[in-house]
Structure 1
Amino acid sequence: MDYEAEEDFCWKLLHDLKPASEKQVPVEAYSEDNDQKCEHCHSIELIIKEGQYVCRHCNVIESRVIDDGAEWRFYGAEDNRSDDPTRCGMPTNNLLPKSSMGSMIGYYKYNKDNRDIGRIRRYLIWNSMPHWERTLYQIFEQLNNTGNTNGIPVKVIDDSKVFFKRASEMKISRGDNKDGLIASCLYYACLINKVPRSTKEISRMFKIDHDVLTKGNARFQELLKINVEASNADDFISRFGSNLNMNWADIDQCRELTKKIEDMEIVSENAPTSVAASAIYFYSFYKDLEINKKYISETCDVSEVTITKCFKKLQKYKNILLVSA
């Protein structure tokens, strides 16, 4: 055996060994945003290893990494615990800030002190929401239920909650004033989001008189002073046409017809809903869509008398209105 060659090989292996400070460190472990530096060699190249800041050059442990994130400790189906041991909750709700902050008392159902702990837990829940936020919460639930029942988009419902919270912070409303203001918040939220509902529809949703909603609209503008573009007949055509089971080609034709009617100011004295319903009836009458006046009246919530009056006015201009329709 060539001992000299083997000895040279061993010395070569020792020569190729590098000190610990020269070992390559994975790039992902290097913390570039760290503003600390090593107290031993003054290097700023610190790495995170097993929850500690370690100097990349001299391997001195500088400090521990403190995680200021949420402590979830719950891993869903992979967790072997029967209860949820999380120590944090949902993000703070800006509409109900006080109620969003607090703590929960957990208890084990087989604990002998379960009854006492349960009572304490119940008292905590009762007192975790201030009375003024409890009132707001009940109104928000009313807006949720009313909006969802009547097919109002979630975005519109959320905007109405913001409007009411802002209005309630300016002035306290009670009785009919409060009922009208709640309905008005949803009414203006629909207008702003281009999915308008008529005042008659809104008052029926909240089961209040039309006069109460009218006063609520005045109070809304008095408190919030929001400039909202008024609705027009074209805003109602798509929804009315969809409710009447019209195809989209006919709905588009009705929208073009409605724009002509508004540009010519033929029935400008009528409400947008009346103009939209009359335009649909006018189009269906001359296109033989077999949609009768009574069905349109019931679906669009416009009286047959109003539709008939508008229809007679539109008939005088049928040669112009039906050019492209």
Structure 2
Amino acid sequence: MAECVKLPKSIVDKSWDFYKQVWSHLIVYFQVHDDKNLKGRANDAIASACLYIACRQEGMPRTFKEICAVSKISKKEIGRCFKLILKALETSVDLITTADFMSRFCSNLGLPNSVQRAATHIARKAGELDIVSGRSPISVAAAAIYMASQASEDKRSQKEIGDIAGVADVTIRQSYKLMYPFAAKLFPDDFKFATPIEFLPQM
């Protein structure tokens, strides 16, 4: 799984340590709570959650959807194990932010540094102005990338961004709609517009 999402050996090792510490505890839990969805798949669900936690703690977060894609385990199953592992090990993870994903998403979309910098600024400013309250950092990052790319020469569609970020088009639109009325305040002062703010998509 780690190889599929391009993770270093340090994260594999940390995931394995988590797995060894919690395996017995969680296997017993799943046997007691006979969940048909997890029957025969508890090991994979635990391993997937361990990998997700290790990524978060090592500062190389991956989305639930990315882990789901390589593990074939549902987000719900991984999420359940994630919470149980944190409780069993009495550990925690830092809250994810838009900055955790911006560089990787923009790189995978083939966007230049100027667009990445603008998207990072847009997402951070949107948070400061409290206009994306309650939205997930991943959806805000995706919407910020969409806004920045649409204002540049390197335009990317919601679908292209959604495929990379692992979020639905409608999720990007929801965050973008919140941000659009404040677009003039969100862009960095030195951004070079190929498409002026007034001609950005309004959804």
Under a length normalisation based on structure 2, what TM-score does the superposition of the two structures give? Answer: 0.81
Contact kept? 2:115, 2:152, Cα under 8 Å: no
Matched to 2:168, the amino acid is S
Aligned to 1:214: 79
Matched to 1:159, the amino acid is K
How far, CA to CA, are the matches of 2:27 and 2:125 in structure 1? Answer: 45
Contact kept? 1:278, 1:310, Cα under 8 Å: yes
Matched to 2:70, the amino acid is M
- What secondary structure, in the 3-state scheme, does the structure 2 residue paired with 1:317 have? helix
In the TM superposition, 1:104-183 aligns within 5 A as 146-168=1-23, 172-173=27-28, 175-183=40-48
In the TM superposition, 1:11-30 aligns within 5 A as none
Aligned to 1:299: 164
Q: C-alpha displacement at 1:171, in angstroms?
A: 5.5
Aligned to 1:284: 149
How far, CA to CA, are the matches of 1:149 and 1:323 in structure 2? Answer: 35
Matched to 1:216, the amino acid is C
Question: What is the root-mean-square deviation of aligned Cα atoms in Å?
Answer: 1.8
In the TM superposition, 1:175-214 aligns within 5 A as 175-214=40-79
Aligned to 1:70: none
Matched to 2:71, the amino acid is F
Contact kept? 1:177, 1:215, Cα under 8 Å: no
Q: C-alpha displacement at 1:181, in angstroms?
A: 1.6
How far, CA to CA, are the matches of 1:312 and 1:222 in structure 2? Answer: 37
- 1:3-59 Cα offsets, whole Å, 9 max, x none, are xxxxxxxxxxxxxxxxxxxxxxxxxxxxxxxxxxxxxxxxxxxxxxxxxxxxxxxxx
More helix by share: 2
How far, CA to CA, are the matches of 2:182 and 2:26 in structure 1? Answer: 50
Q: Which runs of 5+ in 2 are unaligned?
A: 31-39, 192-203
Q: C-alpha displacement at 1:323, in angstroms?
A: 4.2
Matched to 2:48, the amino acid is A
Larger Rg over CA atoms: 1
Matched to 1:151, the amino acid is K
Q: Whose RCO is larger (CA < 8 A, sep 6+)?
A: 2
Matched to 1:274, the amino acid is S
User: For this pair of structures, how many residues does the alignment match?
Assistant: 180
How far, CA to CA, are the matches of 1:241 and 1:323 in structure 2? Answer: 17
- 1:50-86 Cα offsets, whole Å, 9 max, x none, are xxxxxxxxxxxxxxxxxxxxxxxxxxxxxxxxxxxxx
Contact kept? 1:181, 1:219, Cα under 8 Å: no
Aligned to 1:46: none
Aligned to 1:241: 106
How far, CA to CA, are the matches of 2:12 and 2:178 in structure 1? Answer: 38
Contact kept? 1:181, 1:216, Cα under 8 Å: yes
Q: Which moved more, 1:269-278 or 1:168-177?
A: 168-177
How far, CA to CA, are the matches of 1:158 and 1:228 in structure 2? Answer: 17
Q: Which runs of 5+ in 1 are unaligned?
A: 1-145
In structure 2, the CA distance between the partners of 1:166 and 1:290, relative to structure 1 (3 Å rule), is same
- What secondary structure, in the 3-state scheme, does the structure 2 residue paired with 1:269 have? coil
In structure 2, the CA distance between the partners of 1:201 and 1:298, relative to structure 1 (3 Å rule), is same
Under a length normalisation based on structure 1, what TM-score does the superposition of the two structures give? Answer: 0.52
Q: Which moved more, 1:285-294 or 1:310-319?
A: 285-294
